[in-house]
Amino acid sequence: MGQDDKKDEKEIEVPDTLPILPVRDIVVFPYMILPLFVGREKSISAIDYSLNTNRMIMLLTQKDLNIENPETDDLFSVGTVGLIMRMLKLPDGRVKILVQGLAKARCLNITEKDGIYVASIEKIEERKPEVITLEIEALIRNVKEQIDKTLSLGKTILPDIMIVIENLDDPGRLGDLVASNIGLKTDQAQRILEIDDPVERLKKVSEVLNREIELLIVQQKIQTEARGEIDKTQREYFLREQLKAIQKELGDIDEKMEEIREFKKKILEAKMPEKVLTEAEKQLKRLEKMHPDSAEAATVRTYLDWLVELPWSKSTKDNLNIKVAKKVLNDDHYDLEKIKERILEYLSVRKLNPKMKGPILCFIGPPGVGKTSLGKSIARSLGREFVRISLGGVRDEAEIRGHRRTYVGALPGRIIQGIKQAGMNNPVFMLDEVDKIGTDFRGDPSSALLEVLDPEQNNSFVDHYLGVPFDLTHVMFITTGNITDTIPSPLRDRMELIHLSGYTSEEKVGIAGNYLIPKQFSEHGIGKHIMKISGPALLMLIAQYTREAGVRNLERSIATLCRKVAKQIAEGKKKKFVISNKNLHKFMGPPRFLPEEEMKKDEVGVATGLAWTEAGGDIIYVEAITMKGKGSLTITGQLGDIMKESAQAALSYVRSRAKELDISDDLFSKKDVHIHVPAGAIPKDGPSAGITLTTAIASALTGKPIHKNIAMTGEVTLRGTVLAIGGLKEKSLAAKRMGIKKIIVPKRNEKDLEDIPKYIKKDMEFIFVETMDQVLGIALINDTAKGKKDKAENGKQ
């Protein structure tokens, strides 16, 4: 802002017409010097026009600052003639100008010329008082004192402006200068600009200053009162105090007392045991004495929340209708008869003795056989809540027992958290991956589980956070794992192990037909009238595209078929898609797993063995051959230590029976024996290949062929005793798939025939043996002309 006392306002020559520059949100007064940023094309053109003529421009304020392209009616008629002192073009296309207000003017007529607004203007002459009377002098002095008062109350005005104000005695210029520097609203400033009489204009400014002073005094009073009650930096405390003051004025009850009453009510409703009730009341009394905003109060409040929200006395009523439970289990799971029977036994005992302690079942089996989903079915059949947590990779004991309340961010363990989540004290609680718990410096979680999973101890399980006992005897704990070897023996001892060995191909067909295919059809929006998967195609999908004990990959493969069909439907092909074993490769590509070839003839030194794998049963061919050497034994085929030891024992047994087998003693010192199990890329191990290895070695050394249609499984001792094996059901199915009708099985496994489906037993002959002599008598073909010829050829090698 500048002021030139030597230059009179009458000396300023203002043209009759000037280009118009609309300005937003500001009113320009005479003698003001201010920068303006101009971005509108018309306004930039007006500035260019002004610079090319007399550098003057008419500054009119917009009535509505939100209008982007104002018309003549959108502008006030009275404004200020400005002189463009400097102009700078900015990189973004805008223009920055520095203008000085020269004189007030009124627009008489506005026309549009060459894309800009041009106004015919009339300069407003300032009617200055001829004599500065006492009244005017008092008014000037009053305005100056008002400005000083606003400064003392916190108003900000630049020091340079204050110096000019102190030295001004012209009422008109003083009014304009003050009005332009006290932050008036646009409408208010425009009204002051339009007052022609300088004294009246200064009076109006004085009125505005009076109102501003009153506002500043009230504002300062509010701030002073607030500072007197609380520290200004504690905003949260300030808001809370204000809320309390409002509640007090309205007659509302105290917040802290309301919280205490609420806790008392919840404690009564929770029906806690006596020990827990005593602790809860003790902590509530502590909370009453604490300041509500203290950190310790927050800790106690959280602890009480946990106590009142735990289901101390809430339980679900068991559905003890055995028929309904049986139907639920059959609807959810195919086969698994032993497990279903065990669950129904539990329900039956529960019906006779409602106070029975919950059993701890442990489902052990490979991935994908339905361990977790079986837990959900148990909960559904019982009508209980279901909670599941995974223990895989848990290394911190506090995950089970909880953290002590002295730690920052302490919480109960996952057992208590699960109980709270269930909302009942008798849920079906599944602890997944119990065989994958870790141990490190933070403790041993498996040891912490000993108390949880012991029906004799878990009636008073104490979580470190709660510090009071919680009765877990009503909970039905179910654990799952893939293997038992990594489960510590004390923990394993507390559980009832139930093995899920995996599904046979026939069982997988049933599961796919009843559950997987309808589920995937529904998820992919495919109806039965659109797509069909034939039985042979399903068997091929199971045997040649998936190799697993469970059904996860089978479900993924069925989903793949659904996606392929969905794509063709989306492309406009309208027909029924029938997936058969002949066109399956078009959807799935070439088979990933091919079965062993069936033997074409009886051969010397080739025995058919049966093996158990994670994918179910399989057959293996054990080959033995003799060659010139010094009696050494070579073993190939990526065999594990157990099978290598079995091969050594087999050779020793054959040597010990050389006389009975008609093998010359010097043959062992002149011949090397090489044992090979094909599919060398696949690791093979286990104790059930002993009789197969022995038979292959005996055949190679005697030259007697082995029956191609006989498979065998069993371990053998050095004295020739055949020992029991496992997985007879899966091995039998593998033999059936290869068209083998006879299986040599240890006598001790005769009891396992109960687990084998009737459709397998019907078409297959099980030969039970106790000694290796019996095995050789059955498997080896007696010396015929062919056998003697093979023996002679074998001896010449």
Q: Give me the DSSP letters along 305-373.
A: HHHHHS-SS--PPP---HHHHHHHHHHH-SS-HHHHHHHHHHHHHHHH-TTPPPPEEEEE--TTSSHHH
Instruction: Report d(CA 30, CA 9) in Å as an integer.
Output: 10
Helix (H, G, I), strand (E, B) or coil at 732: helix
Mind giving me the DSSP string for 549-616? SSSHHHHHHHHHHHHHHHHHHHTT--S-EEE-TTTHHHHH-S-S--PPPPP-S-EETEEEEEEEETTE
727 vs 746: CA distance, rounded Å: 12
Strand order in the sheet with 671-676: 633-636, 671-676, 616-628, 606-613, 710-712, 742-746, 765-769
Which of 65, 83, 87, 84 shows the shortest CA–CA distance to 75? 65
Q: Give the Cα separation of 303 and 407 in Å (integer).
A: 13
In the DSSP assignment, the letter for residue 117 is: E
Residue 175 · residue 204 · CB < 8 Å? yes
Strands (E), 615-669: 616-628, 633-636
Is residue 370 left, alpha or beta, with left meaning phi > 0 and alpha meaning psi from -120 to 50? left
Rounded to whole angstroms, the Cα distance separating 511 from 508 reads 5
- Note whether 388 and 277 are within 8 A (CB): no
Main-chain dihedrals φ then ψ at residue 724, nearest 5 degrees:
-70, 160
Strands 705-706 and 603-604: antiparallel
Of 108, 88, 84, 107, the C-alpha closest to 96 is 88
Round to whole Å and give the CA distance between 753 and 210.
108
So which residues are the catalytic ones? 688, 731
How is 130-164 classified by DSSP, letter by letter?
Answer: SS--HHHHHHHHHHHHHHHHHHHTT----HHHHHH
CA 260 from chain center: how many Å?
A: 37
Phi-psi region of 332 (alpha: psi -120 to 50; beta: other; left: phi over 0): alpha
Contact 371, 488 (CB under 8 A): no
H or E element, residue 478: strand 476-481
Residue with tokens 């609203």, as numbered in its chain: 185
Q: At what angle do helices 235-250 and 198-229 cross, to 10 degrees?
A: 90
Q: What angle (nearest 5°) sits at the alpha carbon of residue 530, between those of residues 524 and 536?
A: 95
